[in-house]
Amino acid sequence: MSKQSFVGPAELYEMLMGLSQLTGSALLADVAKVMGDLMPAGMSNALNPKQIRSKIWLVDEVLRHAGGVHGEVVVMGGWHGVLSALLLNDPRFSLRSVTSLDIDPGCAPVAMLLNRRFVAEGRFRAVTADMHRPGSAIPPLGEGSLVINTSCEHIPDVRGWLATLPPGQLVALQSNDYRAVPEHVSCFDSAEAFAAAAGLGRTLFMGALPSRRYTRFMLIGHR
Ligand SMILES: C[S@@+](CC[C@H](N)C(=O)[O-])C[C@H]1O[C@@H](n2cnc3c(N)ncnc32)[C@H](O)[C@@H]1O
């Protein structure tokens, strides 16, 4: 046996399928399919413990402060669709549909494969668009809908983007103070500074989640 051995897509698929059987997790089988078929760049980042912890934080706080029954859910800057998958696989939630929108055309095929069980039910789709001008890429928003944006650090003007949503729109937003990343054009020093920049009409939750290199901030409320 050679000293160095690399795990390829086929081995990763087998390993994750085994773990899916062990844990009874259908989501893990979906991840296995994505890694086996596509092995997309950035997927290990999207699934790292810090990313998952921050998404679980969002899911739990949305449930606590805004409940689990929502109509159309739109995840702006939804990347590879991991947050959508966490929401759709969570039995505490009852959601009419989830749309994951991202400006990077490489994201939609990954998100569609990861959430393919819900695509088959007509409850998930991934679209490629700029969140500032989603047009008909997303369903009509308003009463009962929920807009999530965990990529607020990637857009230059959070309040300007929020102004494109209907008045009173329920939103869950995350940003951070991780200025070392060049794409992070909109970082904040505190949850309070993030809240001031967003200028929500009604805040249901405001909090901070520290990690080793940076702190993530979250707001849940109405525009
Ligand atoms: C690194 S990812 C996700 C980071 C985020 N902190 C998280 O944990 O979910 C940021 C995503 O935002 C997307 N994005 C950036 N600007 C966007 C825009 N104007 N419209 C839609 N998606 C955008 C990028 O393509 C990328 O997939």
104 C-beta closer than 6 A to ligand 1: yes
Q: Token pair for residue 44?
A: 């290990």
Same domain, 111 and 179: yes
- Other CB atoms within 10 Å distance of the CB of residue 14: 13
215 C-beta closer than 6 A to ligand 1: no
Q: What rounded mean pLDDT belongs to the chain? A: 96
Would the pTM count as exceeding 0.85? yes
Does residue 151 register a pLDDT over 60? yes
> Atom 3, ligand 1: which residue's CA is nearest?
151
**Domain-embedded: residue 2:** no
* Mutational pocket test of ligand 1: of 99, 154, 185, the residue with most ligand atoms within 8 Å of the beta carbon: 154
Same domain, 110 and 138: yes
Q: What are phi and psi of 149, to 5 degrees?
A: -140, 100
**For residue 54, what are the CA distances in angstroms to 18, 49, 211?**
26, 9, 10
Same domain, 211 and 126: yes
148 C-beta closer than 6 A to ligand 1: no
> Atom 11, ligand 1: which residue's CA is nearest?
77
Same domain, 107 and 210: yes
**Domain-embedded: residue 4:** no
Q: What are phi and psi of 194, to 5 degrees?
A: -60, -45
pLDDT digits (tens, 9 = 90+) for 9-22: 999 999 999 999 99
Atom of ligand 1 nearest to the CA of 153: 6
Same domain, 30 and 100: no
Same domain, 110 and 28: no
| % of the chain with per-residue pLDDT over 90 | 96
**Domain-embedded: residue 32:** yes
pLDDT digits (tens, 9 = 90+) for 70-108: 999 999 999 999 999 999 999 999 999 999 999 999 999
Q: How far is CA 15 from the centre of its chain?
A: 25
Separation of CA 77 and ligand 1 centre (Å): 4
Atom of ligand 1 nearest to the CA of 104: 25
Same domain, 217 and 182: yes
155 C-beta closer than 6 A to ligand 1: yes
How many domains does the chain fold into? 2
Does residue 2 register a pLDDT over 60? no
Same domain, 132 and 34: no
**Domain-embedded: residue 34:** yes
Does residue 33 register a pLDDT over 80? yes
Domain that holds residue 34: 9-39
Separation of CA 4 and ligand 1 centre (Å): 35
Same domain, 31 and 49: no
**Domain-embedded: residue 3:** no
What is the per-residue pLDDT for 6?
80
Same domain, 26 and 101: no
